[in-house]
Structure 1
Amino acid sequence: MEEMKTGEEEVWSWGAGTEGQLGTGRTEDEHSPQLLHLPCLSSAAPLSMLACGGAHVVALTSGGRVLTWGRGTSGQLGHGETLNCLHPNSVSSLDRFFITFVSAGWNHSAFISDGGCLFTCGDGSFGQLGHGDYRSYCSPVKVSYFVNKHVDQIACGMRHSLVLLKDCPGNQVYGFGSRKRGQLGIFKDMMKSISIPQVTCGFHDVDVVSIYANGDHSAALSADGHLYTWGRSFSGTSDYMYPQCSPSSLRFTKVAPGWNHALVLTGDGEVFMLGGNHHGVLSDPQKVNPQKHLSDSCETVLEKISGLDGLKVVQIAAGAEHSAIVTENGVIKTWGWGEHGQLGLGNTSDQTYPQPVRFGHEVLTKHTAIKVYCGSGFTYAVRTLCAPPHA
């Protein structure tokens, strides 16, 4: 493997790839990390963030440009058609905007401009695009409801979306799309879905700083580190129809929800998990049995991830049924469902304990900034070589 130069960026992918979501140009699964050769990405400025959906990827560059690839059958790639795309392709209709934030759901995508405008495309059959209808769109369309507001963040779940407004205390979180499991946090009887954004209840006196969605789950963090969850229950009990604040005394900095579990990260670099009784997404094999640890209580239990003692974690990510973390020294560890190779360990086995991912013949460590992103059954890593201290 060629030696990286300071500031150079590498993009790796692995896992489910049958719809082109790995960016390899092939339509097959990859069980080990694959180094991608993406000239269109490297020429578009460094990556700012990736968003991985059901089987598609949205890439945002530091220059405000958006590229997408993977499954496009619902128009979620924003290319004006309903075709899969094996390589990153620019979303040309957004070229006149400077995009600052992106999100990818199961079959829909969302983009925020530096002016606070929200654009969505893809599957709208549950109202998750927020356009007041249940149509699908092949190109990004501005969400008119927020035209006089400044959208700060967007989080796309399987069939719903959440929006966080900037400088709007009391009414800062909105939801639209499916509300069957309570994931919108909206009190409206007899309505299974909502296509016009509605205020999520329960945040009138809360300063929300970040929102998250995946599957039928919704989550938020407040400025003082409190965790709020709503939608499908992590404990196997009744769904939460409005945001519930975790009683934990811990203060959290990041959340990564999956389909049946969620990771949460503390300011001290400790990782805890909510739920997770499927495919070994918990790191304790005694907790893998689906019939165990289903409490009759409505309280969601936080479990500390085993096998990470003495390690400080700086980033977390979750797919449908797998998890990934990045440690302080730049090592990626994965565990959970491995059927498609999404753990990057060279096989299709499930793992109950965090395992280090090897890139070529090395485990990434020294002076390397790593970011990891999970789609439903695939994983991406972006590696940037940093200058060593006192260089």
Structure 2
Amino acid sequence: MTHQEAPWHLSTMASILRGTDSGAVYTFGKTRFADNKPSQFFIKNDPIIDIACGDEFTIVLCQNGRLFSFGSNEYGQLGLGHKKTVNRPSCIKTLKPFKVKLIACGRSHSIAVNEYNHIYTFGNNSDGQLGQSNTIDKDIPTKIEDSPTKSNGKIIQVSAGSNHSAVLTEKGRLYIWGSNTEGQLGLSIDTKVEKITAPTMVAVPEKIIHISCGYYHSGFVTENGNAYTFGENENGKLACGLNENGQLGIGDENIKVVSEPVIINKNIFENSDIMNVSCGERHTAFVTKTGKLFTCGDSKYGKLCNLSETNDSEFSPKLVSQFENVKVCGVSCGGCHTIVSIQKNNFQLKLDNIPSKLPALPPMSKKIEIPNIEDNFTNGGEEWFIER
């Protein structure tokens, strides 16, 4: 999952939305602390500014640089020093001395970058996705020593796939590591090399400005507005990587795996520059600088946003006509769904049987204080509130 600064934040793996003023987090779907009902919470005196969701776990970043985590924890992906499931947000104490700036969660591993540009990883490391030059799981945040990213400036973005990880530096260099079984690392190496356990730079002739890791594929955008993909292409999701469903967007359903970055022809995007790419499990979405949304890959459950009644895969990015009359600002792809953000006060969408104006989020009317309990399995004395 990949994150950028925004006045509000969306995350698809657990359908979590962050509000603006209070830093409240709204949760939807399967949740242990709210009995699977829509809910919300906030950290007292420290607004939440970013959210990362993995497979049944969540990490939130507060304004003061603290991290709180909760959910499944069988690999130590919560970074709390144990592997027990945690039902309420708990502070990751080992990172409290440092102000964390960036976070990302994969299927069962996590990444954090602090104010000193140090990369910390924790959780499942079976494919080297922690970048520690080994395959040993970590249940506390562990610094990647002697990271080669240091020579290319500040880290400005992090992303995590199922079992691979990536960071982008301000000089436009992409470093990637972890599982390579489907060519999702884009390192032009044989997929028989199943894992890379340390950050390795992807050779690209252009400066990269945006990255995204999907389940088994990856993508990035360059300053020239070009989009590249690699990895598994099942269902055509690539436009790079495994291409079984066309998730790579390269237009050829016979190409199943792409092990090096492939540029997508701009003609597909009506000759517009790309500013954002998001890679899901088996689909991919692109946003142009003109505010148009294109999607490709597996179309099941309507996640390509085209409201098609068929489940046919799209092997080339296709314009989402329902958003033609609005300006799309961002997109985030999950496993089987997609969230799209559009320009404020512009909700006139061509969506059949769907209200043209989105309903407001529920007010923060009821506050329940969680008692301060000092132990490793709770919130460690921090005050936070939840509405049920």
> For each residue in 1:254-305, what CA deviation from the matched residue of structure 2 results, as whole angstroms up to 9, or x when unmatched?
2221111112112222211121332222233547323x555xxxxxx11112
Report the secondary structure of 1:181's partner residue. coil
CA contact (8 A) 2:275 2:288 kept: yes
Q: Relative to structure 1, is the Cα distance of residues 306 and 194 closer, same or farther in structure 2, using a 3 angstrom cutoff?
A: same
Give the one of 26, 43, 48 matched to 2:34.
Answer: 26
Alpha-carbon separation, structure 1, partners of 2:280 and 2:82: 29
Alpha-carbon separation, structure 2, partners of 1:69 and 1:196: 27
Q: Relative to structure 1, is the Cα distance of residues 67 and 330 closer, same or farther in structure 2, using a 3 angstrom cutoff?
A: farther
Aligned positions of 1:84-233 closer than 5 A: 84-146=85-147, 149=150, 150-167=154-171, 172-189=173-190, 190-201=192-203, 203=204, 205-233=205-233
- Following superposition, the deviation at residue 175 of structure 1 comes to 1.5
The alignment yields a C-alpha RMSD, in angstroms, of 2.8
CA contact (8 A) 2:76 2:123 kept: yes
Q: What TM-score results when the alignment is normalised by the length of structure 2?
A: 0.74
Aligned to 2:258: 240
Alpha-carbon separation, structure 1, partners of 2:348 and 2:109: 28
Report the secondary structure of 2:140's partner residue. strand
Give the one of 317, 322, 325 matched to 1:310.
Answer: 325
Instruction: Give the structure, 1 or 2, with the largest relative contact order (CA under 8 Å, sep 6 or more).
Output: 1
- Counterpart amino acid of residue 272 in structure 2: L
Alpha-carbon separation, structure 2, partners of 1:129 and 1:57: 17
Q: Relative to structure 1, is the Cα distance of residues 207 and 156 closer, same or farther in structure 2, using a 3 angstrom cutoff?
A: same
Alpha-carbon separation, structure 2, partners of 1:270 and 1:209: 18
Q: Does 1:12 align with 2:23?
A: no
Name structure 1 gaps, 5 residues minimum. Answer: 295-300, 335-351, 366-391
Q: Relative to structure 1, is the Cα distance of residues 208 and 87 closer, same or farther in structure 2, using a 3 angstrom cutoff?
A: same
Aligned residues: 317
Alpha-carbon separation, structure 1, partners of 2:353 and 2:168: 32
- Counterpart amino acid of residue 243 in structure 1: P
Alpha-carbon separation, structure 1, partners of 2:28 and 2:348: 14
Alpha-carbon separation, structure 2, partners of 1:63 and 1:136: 28
- Following superposition, the deviation at residue 118 of structure 1 comes to 0.3
Q: Relative to structure 1, is the Cα distance of residues 94 and 358 closer, same or farther in structure 2, using a 3 angstrom cutoff?
A: farther
> For each residue in 1:360-389, what CA deviation from the matched residue of structure 2 results, as whole angstroms up to 9, or x when unmatched?
xx4369xxxxxxxxxxxxxxxxxxxxxxxx
CA contact (8 A) 1:307 1:354 kept: no
Aligned positions of 1:234-383 closer than 5 A: 234=237, 235=246, 236=253, 237-248=255-266, 249-286=271-308, 288-290=310-312, 293=314, 301-329=316-344, 355=354, 362-363=359-360
Q: What TM-score results when the alignment is normalised by the length of structure 1?
A: 0.74
Q: Relative to structure 1, is the Cα distance of residues 72 and 200 closer, same or farther in structure 2, using a 3 angstrom cutoff?
A: same
> For each residue in 1:31-77, what CA deviation from the matched residue of structure 2 results, as whole angstroms up to 9, or x when unmatched?
xxx24133xx243x222211111111111122211111111111111
* Greater Cα offset, 323-332 or 46-55: 323-332
Q: Relative to structure 1, is the Cα distance of residues 357 and 66 closer, same or farther in structure 2, using a 3 angstrom cutoff?
A: farther
> For each residue in 1:336-380, what CA deviation from the matched residue of structure 2 results, as whole angstroms up to 9, or x when unmatched?
xxxxxxxxxxxxxxxx97956998xx4369xxxxxxxxxxxxxxx
